[in-house]
Structure 1
Amino acid sequence: MTFTLDRRTMLAASAASLAAPALARTPVKRPNVLFILADDMGYADLSCYGRRNYETPAIDALAAQGMRLTSGYANSPVCSATRTALMTGRYQYRLPVGLEEPLAFRDMGLPPDEPTLPSQLRKAGYATSLIGKWHLGAAPKFGPRLSGYEHFFGIQGGGADYFTHASGRGHDLWDNETTAGEHGYLTDILAREAIEQLGRHAADSRPFFMSLHFTAPHWPWEGPNDQAESARLAATGEPAAIFHYDGGTMATYAAIMRRLDEKVGEVLAALQQLGLADDTIVVFTSDNGGERFSDNWPFSGRKTELLEGGVRVPLIVRWPGRITAGSESAVPVMSMDWLPTFLGLAGSAPAPERQSDGVDVLPVLLGSSMPVRPLFWRYRHLDQASCRFGDHKYLRINGNEFLFDVVQDPLERGNLKARQPSLFADLKARWTSWNETMLPFDPDSFSHGFHAKDMADRFGVE
């Protein structure tokens, strides 16, 4: 793969060499963090996780250089709820915004006074930036720069056209609080901005935390050569056209994924060229399970479902010199774990008034194990509830209850409820006790998301 830095990035890199000549040569005591989040990516949508009809060589290389986790979990089967947990390090159901599932039509968001991963890292001396998708409330009440990010470039909403950058709210591409008039394919634009921001971070003496939240492979179903489809959607004049339920093909999805992989590769190449790679932890994961064209094998279920396919996600972590290259772990790690993990590496800790529900997973990344802990989920539509504890999982969906061994039976086909009644009762009781500590569902929340009709068809509910 060839890669060249543009003029602005080269100038920033030159400034870095003058302002902080030791940055590229001497590992910093506190690592930088580059957190790359894909949107709606299925567990097996990367070739290093099993995708068969296309390849993702850049992200595969990242896995070969670090650790591939096979029990990576999203906090929710939908977007905003997981992002709430990622930002706060707590179960999303502790905050009203986390009940929206997903955040769509109400004027709600992540409260600016809520301690977040970027705000707490910033207090610890880190430079912070978000490139890409926010989806935790719209300006002026809410926004990335009100919640700890010093710099923001991306979209505020849940999805935007890849070419016009329009969403249901209109044009939705921003440079901080100013509308960005960038032209081109959104994945390309976000990668280019990330590379330029890396140059700015290299010129800063502080360690950095960069969130790079791509919109790919989230709908609309537009590959890098699908300008005609973008124009067709724009011509309808309807905000809902971005969903185009009749759109897309497997070939289109492959094109979206290949371009994402290519641009991740360019960002990682820039990190190397700027002399930052050895001092930077890189995480690659997804906000929830895959959707229409995703491959979630060997799991059943998908986005909006608490079957494993809705919450099990690819998870890759690279930290040169600390994480063993080519290693693998089956220890469950969840979105909310990153806040205590990164704060620990920064020499800090979660805010005393907001203790994290996650745990520091550094021992896992360094090749050790952790005590078994229960992990919990709930999703209002179809009355879904789930608890994983060890190899087993309690699941409730549409009035039916199950006990699965998700290690031996990843497809969740063999219901062990009658065979192991005491274990079933234990996991169910754990979930019930946990749920009593969470906020109740908000009857006015947009809980069904954009997939309610699809799920009703699949599960036979009106």
Structure 2
Amino acid sequence: MSDGPQSSRLTRRTLAGAAVGALGAGAAAASASGPAYAEQPFRAVARGGRTPRPNILVILADDLGWGDLSVYGAPRIRTPHLDRLARDGVRFTQGYSAGAVCSPTRVALYTGRHPGRIKGGLAEPISAPGPDNGIPPEHPTLGSLLKDAGYATAMVGKWHGGFLPWFSPLKSGWDSFFGNYSGGLDYFSKWAGNGYDLWDGEQQVDDPRYYTDIVTEKAVGVVRRNARLNQPWLLNLNFTTPHWPWEGRGDKAVSDELTARLKAGDSRALFHEDGGSLAKYEEMVEDLDRAVGRVLDELRRTGQDRDTIVLFQSDNGGERFSYNWPLSGEKASVNEGGIRVPMIVSWPGRLRGRQVDDTPVYTTDWTATFLELGRATPDAAYPLDGTSLVPHLFQGRRVPERDLFWRTRGGRALRRGDLKYARLDGVDHLYDLRADVREQADLAKKRPADLAALKAAWEAVDATLLPYPA
């Protein structure tokens, strides 16, 4: 395979009514939103010498759908700050989460490995405390490996890697943590399915304000504090927005009702199945955008932006109010709508802005990338499953061909090139994503040899993972 510059189809976005080539693999979508600039095919900046060690800011949204940003074609939602991040960097059209729900993707990001390599990665998601339901403190992580390489490490927001007393970010390599341990919590009361869930490290704290505001304030404080450091830093900023319950900052009464139901024993109250709306979801996503903007503004104000690589992505596909068109499926599904997510990377001065990249990339690729950029050495006893994107992003090389793998209790998928094998509801399917990103034309009977090859490849990876408990 050639090591020349990565080729990519030109994607052009203009103002209202323009066509948006947002899907990659030959597909396109129409949108009434979008920035007034043309995106160019990705090309690495030609620079001599070794890429310097950057600060690393990883921002996760929670249950944000593939098309929920205006830069990804949302017809109603406006996200100017994330659009600006894309304008200043590279927008991936085929970015994938490693899991179809929250905690498996986070386990993959933190460890750089398939979720099924540890017991904690088998929960979909981690919802109950227990000694097996988390990332073991002895397992190397992005936090611990970068810390060993001289980085200051912090996490703000949603951990979802296991509960105290067995697991916490502080036990897994992060110097500081402020946030929640569970998957979802009420934005005001901070009650979750297992009780009150707002923590400074391993101590509970009280703050009745809207949670997105608290997370943003704490992250801005970390960025400000890091400006005084004489060492590079890692900040994992994990918003719960726009995960249910469907509450904006003016919805304290909704919070009171849901929290009362939760305390009275209604274990599904926070799922908010009797609430929410498209308008409320739009409000929450736009609030997320403003929050990210505040953090990015602090990065610029403190003069750290040119020394910091920023990754923004969702932890999995969107839920009931998301805009995923033309993808099929949603959160918890191995269809594209459950695993293909918005993904943007920016590093001013090192990556050209206004670029679009159709390369399929995957959660664990970013773990490998950040470890290489930070000159951290992975532990040979815990080999990574991702591929570092450093040669691609900074030297213009193609990402080596490899399979992308997903496994859930209810489904399986493997992507090889443009072909995707998926088992849905117990039935095996084969799709050509270049021609059929919506996964409606099943080629399983037409191309049985390809189906068999991808199925065998999936089973070979699966054989190396822990089985799901009965």
TM-score over 0.5 (shorter chain)? yes
How much does 1:28 deviate?
A: 9.8
Structure 1: tracts of 5 or more residues without a match: 1-26, 444-462
Bigger mean CA deviation after superposition, 428-437 or 204-213: 428-437
CA distance in 2, matches of 1:167, 1:348: 36
CA distance in 2, matches of 1:289, 1:158: 15
Correspondence for 2:418 among 391, 403, 406? 391
| Counterpart residue number, 2:351 | 323
CA distance in 2, matches of 1:109, 1:422: 39
CA distance in 1, matches of 2:342, 2:214: 24
Correspondence for 2:252 among 227, 235, 240? 227
CA distance in 2, matches of 1:46, 1:54: 7
- SS of the residue corresponding to residue 220 of structure 2 reads helix
| Counterpart residue number, 2:193 | 168
User: TM-score scaled by structure 2?
Assistant: 0.86
1:143-199 Cα distance to aligned partner (Å, 9 max, x none): 010001000000011111011111112221111122222231111110000000111
Correspondence for 2:459 among 409, 425, 432? 432
- Indicate yes or no: 2:322 matched with 1:294: yes
User: TM-score scaled by structure 1?
Assistant: 0.88
CA distance in 2, matches of 1:135, 1:34: 18
Matches within 5 A, 1:195-344: 195-236=220-261, 237=263, 238=265, 239-344=267-372
1:99-142 Cα distance to aligned partner (Å, 9 max, x none): 11111125121100000000000000000000000111111111
Matches within 5 A, 1:1-150: 29-107=52-130, 108-150=133-175
| Counterpart residue number, 1:6 | none
Counterpart code for 1:377 = W
CA distance in 1, matches of 2:259, 2:98: 33
CA distance in 1, matches of 2:51, 2:165: 36
How much does 1:228 deviate?
A: 1.4
Matches within 5 A, 1:347-426: 347-366=375-394, 367-381=396-410, 384-426=411-453
1:57-111 Cα distance to aligned partner (Å, 9 max, x none): 1001100100000111111101111111111101111111111111112512110
How much does 1:235 deviate?
A: 2.6
- Judge conservation of contact 2:128–2:194 (CA < 8 Å) in 1: no
Counterpart code for 1:290 = G
CA distance in 1, matches of 2:259, 2:213: 20
Counterpart code for 2:210 = Y
Question: What is the aligned residue count?
Answer: 415
- SS of the residue corresponding to residue 381 of structure 2 reads helix
CA distance in 1, matches of 2:129, 2:424: 26
| Counterpart residue number, 2:14 | none
Structure 2: tracts of 5 or more residues without a match: 1-49
CA distance in 2, matches of 1:82, 1:340: 15
CA distance in 2, matches of 1:40, 1:286: 6
1:201-236 Cα distance to aligned partner (Å, 9 max, x none): 111111000000000010011112111111111232
CA distance in 2, matches of 1:314, 1:54: 14
How much does 1:365 deviate?
A: 2.7
Correspondence for 2:182 among 157, 164, 167? 157
CA distance in 2, matches of 1:433, 1:138: 32
CA distance in 2, matches of 1:225, 1:133: 22
- SS of the residue corresponding to residue 268 of structure 2 reads helix
How much does 1:349 deviate?
A: 2.4
Deviation beyond 4 Å, 4+ runs, structure 1: none
- Judge conservation of contact 1:59–1:264 (CA < 8 Å) in 2: yes
How much does 1:29 deviate?
A: 3.2
How much does 1:348 deviate?
A: 2.2
CA distance in 2, matches of 1:396, 1:141: 35
CA RMSD of aligned residues (A): 1.4
- Judge conservation of contact 1:340–1:349 (CA < 8 Å) in 2: no
How much does 1:368 deviate?
A: 3.8
- Indicate yes or no: 2:212 matched with 1:187: yes
1:345-382 Cα distance to aligned partner (Å, 9 max, x none): 1122211111101010123334542121111111113x
- Judge conservation of contact 2:93–2:356 (CA < 8 Å) in 1: yes
CA distance in 1, matches of 2:459, 2:206: 49
